[in-house]
């Protein structure tokens, strides 16, 4: 295996091309920070500009520009042009300061095909063992079996089994919501359970046993808002709801599920803060699929309830097809709407 070296090459800052590049890199980085999870356009532009700067540095190296060996490790700086030499070894920092004082900058280059001492240590970890098969106890089938499987996962997390995590992928939104509701209450030895999706990405930990919730809706007051979780997905819900909580275009993107979960949580926290500022809110949440969105929403809702008790009640609404229904739901909307949705266990303090 080849070894990777890191060097810092000195290039002149006074060239117009370098000046423009540095400015563009700063701008592109600022835009990339703001880009939505999964959006690559700004990030790709930033990386292209960095590659151009690195090309200039490689050219300078070939032309005999001074350089110095960098310590191993991954850093975030694209270049060193001011007092941003934090984390550099003292002798490197001193040299860089001298370069900057004389109108130069340092650009870090990686040389991955060198002979010598490895910069990046060979990562050795345990081999991935095949997964254990799941067998539903007592021959449960259908949603009953999926519920049991998901419950077992959550119970394993609560028991502290090694490697256990909540794995919401492939679990129906109703099962997700009801199981999480059940294990979030009562408040007792709060445990922030890791959330891992099947693509390997992680969501933020879910606070289990973090809040004592009740189920009795009697005497409940507050502004009633009926929303679907995601826009566009099920237009037949439109007759039932006041609006959609999340825009499908923001949420249903090709990206790791953990990022979607995180994005939904951020949006939900911000919207809840705004809504609940003017008084208690009773939110009827008409749910659609997308486990990552359900996880993100209920995590944010729970955190809102913890930080501001009595400010929020969420009543999940699940779609169900009536046993004797004929035709597709939207054909019968307006005449017989209610049977298509059934309320779940409320999330309320």
Partner 1 sequence: LIDKFCQHRGLRAPLGLVKVHSARSPELAALLYRPGLHPQHPPSIEWAYDTISKSSWPLVRNLIPVLPVDEQSFACVVASPANAHKPVPGEGAVVRWHMGIGKSKYQAALLDVSVESYVMSVAQELQARPVGLRRMLDEIGPAYQIDYLAQSRRPRDYVVRPVRLACQNVVVGLAAFAHDSVIDGMSVVAWQACEVPHVAAHEGNRALAALMLCDAYQSGGTMEIRFDRPARVQASGKTRVGKNIKLDVCYPGHPEMSVPASLRRYGRTRGIVLGGDDPASISPREARALFLAVTPMPKGLAGRVQRAADKGVSSPEQLCFTLLSQIWREIELDYMLAVSDRIGSILRGGAAWTHRSARQAESHVCRSALMAGMLFRCLDTRDHATSGQEVRVLEDQRLGVTWDISSEFGVITFCGLSSAKLPWQAEPVSARVEPSLTVLPRSYICSEDLSLARSLRNRGPVAIVVPFDFDLVLPLTDDILILRCPDRLSELDRSIDAALCKSRTMRA
Residue 219 falls in which region: left (phi positive, over 0), alpha (psi -120 to 50) or beta: left
Q: Please say which residue, 75 or 320, places its beta carbon nearer to partner 1.
A: 75
Any contact of residue 200 with partner 1 (CB under 8 A)? yes
Q: How far is the CB of 136 from partner 1 (least distance, A)?
A: 6
Any contact of residue 202 with partner 1 (CB under 8 A)? no
Any contact of residue 178 with partner 1 (CB under 8 A)? no
- Residues 179, 180, 186, 188, CA torsion sign: positive
* Cα–Cα distance, 25 to 80 (Å, whole number): 13
User: b vs e for 188-203, b when ≥16 Cβ sit within 10 Å of the residue's Cβ?
Assistant: eeebebbbbbeeebbb
Q: Find the binder of partner 1 among 14, 126, 138, 335 (CB under 8 A).
A: 126
Binding to partner 1 (CB under 8 A) within 179-198 occurs at 197-198
How many residues bind to partner 1 according to rule CB under 8 A? 70
Asked whether 218 and 239 are in contact (CB, 8 A), the reply is: no
Any contact of residue 163 with partner 1 (CB under 8 A)? no
Any contact of residue 63 with partner 1 (CB under 8 A)? yes
Any contact of residue 275 with partner 1 (CB under 8 A)? no
Any contact of residue 127 with partner 1 (CB under 8 A)? yes
Any contact of residue 113 with partner 1 (CB under 8 A)? yes
Choose one: 71-79, 272-280, 299-307, 309-317; the region binding partner 1 (CB under 8 A).
71-79
Widest pairwise Cα distance in the chain = 83
Any contact of residue 115 with partner 1 (CB under 8 A)? yes
Q: Which of 127, 5, 8 is nearest to 57 (CA)?
A: 8
Any contact of residue 214 with partner 1 (CB under 8 A)? no
76, burial (CB in 10 Å: exposed 0-12, middle 13-18, buried 19+)? exposed
Q: Find the binder of partner 1 among 59, 190, 247, 321 (CB under 8 A).
A: 59
Binding to partner 1 (CB under 8 A) within 132-151 occurs at 132-136, 140-142, 145-146, 149
Any contact of residue 101 with partner 1 (CB under 8 A)? no
* Cα–Cα distance, 189 to 183 (Å, whole number): 12
Q: Please say which residue, 142 or 219, places its beta carbon nearer to partner 1.
A: 142
Any contact of residue 324 with partner 1 (CB under 8 A)? no
Any contact of residue 124 with partner 1 (CB under 8 A)? yes
Asked whether 173 and 290 are in contact (CB, 8 A), the reply is: yes
Q: Which of 219, 274, 214 is nearest to 245 (CA)?
A: 274
Q: Please say which residue, 225 or 325, places its beta carbon nearer to partner 1.
A: 325
For residue 35, CA distances in Å to 40, 42, 69, 78, 195 come to: 8, 7, 34, 19, 24
Helices 41-62, 16-34: axis angle to 10 degrees equals: 150
The 8-47 contact track toward partner 1, x by CB under 8 A, reads: ------------------------x-------x--xx-xx
- Per DSSP bridges, beta strands 223-230 and 243-246 are parallel
Q: Please say which residue, 125 or 338, places its beta carbon nearer to partner 1.
A: 125
* Cα–Cα distance, 158 to 153 (Å, whole number): 9
Q: Find the binder of partner 1 among 174, 181, 204, 255 (CB under 8 A).
A: 255
Q: Which residues pair with 342 in a beta bridge?
A: 318
Q: How far is the CB of 57 from partner 1 (least distance, A)?
A: 9
Helices 173-184, 291-307: axis angle to 10 degrees equals: 30
Tokens of 326: 């004929």
Q: How far is the CB of 162 from partner 1 (least distance, A)?
A: 16
Q: Please say which residue, 122 or 338, places its beta carbon nearer to partner 1.
A: 122
Q: What is the binding site for partner 1 (CB under 8 A)?
A: 1-2, 4, 6, 32, 40, 43-44, 46-48, 50-51, 54-55, 58-59, 61-63, 73-78, 108-115, 118, 120-128, 130-136, 140-142, 145-146, 149, 169-172, 197-201, 254-257
């Amino acid at each position: 295996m080849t070894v990777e070296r890191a060097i810092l090459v000195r290039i002149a800052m006074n060239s117009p091309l370098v000046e423009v590049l540095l400015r563009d890199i700063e701008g592109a980085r600022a835009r990339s920070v703001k880009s939505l999870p999964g959006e690559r356009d700004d990030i790709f532009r930033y990386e292209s500009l960095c590659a151009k700067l690195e090309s200039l540095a490689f050219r300078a190296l070939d032309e005999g520009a001074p350089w110095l060996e960098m310590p191993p490790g991954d850093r975030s700086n694209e270049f060193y042009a001011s007092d941003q030499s934090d984390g550099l070894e003292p002798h490197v920092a001193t040299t860089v300061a001298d370069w900057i004082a004389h109108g130069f900058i340092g650009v870090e280059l990686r040389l991955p095909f060198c002979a010598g001492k490895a910069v990046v240590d060979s990562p050795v970890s345990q081999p991935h063992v095949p997964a254990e098969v799941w067998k539903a106890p007592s021959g449960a089938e259908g949603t009953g079996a999926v519920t049991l499987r998901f419950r077992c996962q959550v119970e394993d997390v609560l028991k502290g089994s090694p490697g256990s995590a909540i794995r919401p992928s492939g679990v129906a939104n109703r099962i997700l919501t009801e199981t999480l509701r059940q294990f979030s209450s009562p408040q007792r030895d709060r445990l922030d359970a890791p959330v891992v999706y099947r693509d390997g990405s992680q969501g933020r930990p879910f606070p289990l046993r973090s809040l004592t919730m009740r189920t009795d809706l009697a005497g409940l007051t507050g502004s009633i808002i009926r929303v679907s979780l995601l826009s566009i997905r099920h237009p037949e819900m439109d007759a039932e709801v006041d609006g959609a909580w999340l825009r499908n275009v923001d949420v249903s993107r090709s990206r790791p599920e953990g990022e979607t979960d995180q994005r939904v949580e951020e949006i939900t926290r911000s919207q809840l803060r705004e809504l609940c500022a003017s008084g208690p809110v009773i939110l009827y949440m008409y749910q659609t699929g997308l486990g990552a969105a359900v996880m993100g929403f209920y995590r944010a809702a729970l955190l809102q309830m913890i930080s501001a008790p009595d400010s929020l009640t969420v009543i999940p609404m699940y779609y169900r097809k009536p046993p004797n229904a004929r035709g597709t739901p939207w054909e019968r909307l307006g005449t017989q709407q209610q049977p298509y949705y059934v309320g779940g266990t409320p999330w309320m303090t």
